[in-house]
Amino acid sequence: MTGRTEGIVLRSRTLGEADLIIEYLTKDFGTRSAFAKSPRKIKSRFGGSLEPFTHARIALTGKEDANLPRLTQSDIIRSFHPLRENTPGFIKACQFAELVMKLLPSEGRSHNAFALMLWGLDGLEKDPASVLVPLVFKLRLLELAGYAPALNGCTRCGGQTDVFYPRDGALLCGGCKKEGPALGLSAALIALHKSLSVFPLEKLSRIKPSGALLTELERFVELHFSEGVNVHIRSVKF
């Protein structure tokens, strides 16, 4: 493939003595891998543009069906350098990158996911200790990937219920319940989930949930990822 777009570095891995393979979330082509020739040499033209979470204008070249196009240009738009120097923020950003690589397709337009990633990185750089930013990021990413939990009443009969079955990713009432683990959700959590799902990202700072409600939401999101989506976030162990 050949094209120009904006990319966010998700991770990199070495290839030989001086080359790298860079994993990007791009604005126009989904998640893409690219081959960077000799970026580890002192006089590399890529400079610091291949550091984790760097937002850059990039140019890729290669055959249309090439799985690994070559990176020919990378100009930094925003480095997110302070985020890389803050351990709590850096670990949370690593979770973002890990989830993007696991949940999003490797092709197709990805403007919404790209905007979400930039919003998340910006939020962590401003407040590395934030609990709300990672939760919103995970919930919005689940929606973009088609794994959003269904919390609008019983998913089978439409009846009222507050019992969540993570393996179904949905609320189920007593008449429709299934075997397996279940979690009772408070009305406040269900309302918060709805607000976090529909509020414009730039206005989410207006929402001020209590610490107890954030703890409940964290537990719910972790359970949905592990039991419903079957995704275990490795970087959480840190």
β strands within the chain, DSSP E: 3-15, 19-26, 31-36, 55-61, 70-78, 163-165, 170-171, 183-184
pLDDT for 46 equals 77
pLDDT for 121 equals 97
Lookup: tokens for 180: 């397996």
pLDDT for 43 equals 58
pLDDT for 2 equals 65
Instruction: Give domain limits for the chain.
Output: 3-80, 83-237
**Residues ≥6 apart with Cβ < 8 Å to 115:** 201
pLDDT tens figures, 131-171: 999 999 999 999 999 999 999 999 999 999 999 999 999 99
Q: φ, ψ for residue 206 (rounded to 5)?
A: -75, -20
Domain 83-237 CATH assignment equals 1.10.10.10: no
Give strand pairing partners of 7.
Answer: 26, 56
Q: Report yes or no on whether pTM surpasses 0.85.
A: yes
β strands within 30-169, DSSP E: 31-36, 55-61, 70-78, 163-165
Q: CA 89 to CA 129: how far, in whole Å?
A: 7
Angle at the Cα of 101 (from 49 to 12), degrees rounded to 5?
35
Which of residues 156 and 237 earns the better pLDDT score?
156
Q: CA 113 to CA 80: how far, in whole Å?
A: 18
Dihedral Cα 65, 113, 120, 133, nearest 10 deg: -140
**Domain at 3-80, CATH class:** mainly beta
Count of C-beta atoms within a 10 Å radius of residue 65: 6
Residue 81 above 90 pLDDT?
yes
Specify the long-range contacts of residues 158-165, CB closer than 8 Å, at least 24 apart: 162/186, 162/187, 162/190, 164/220, 164/223
Residue 32 above 80 pLDDT?
yes
Measuring CA to CA, which residue among 80, 27, 30, 28 is closest to residue 50?
80
Q: CA 30 to CA 108: how far, in whole Å?
A: 5
Q: What is the DSSP letter of 137?
A: H
Q: For residues 117-131, give the mean pLDDT.
A: 96
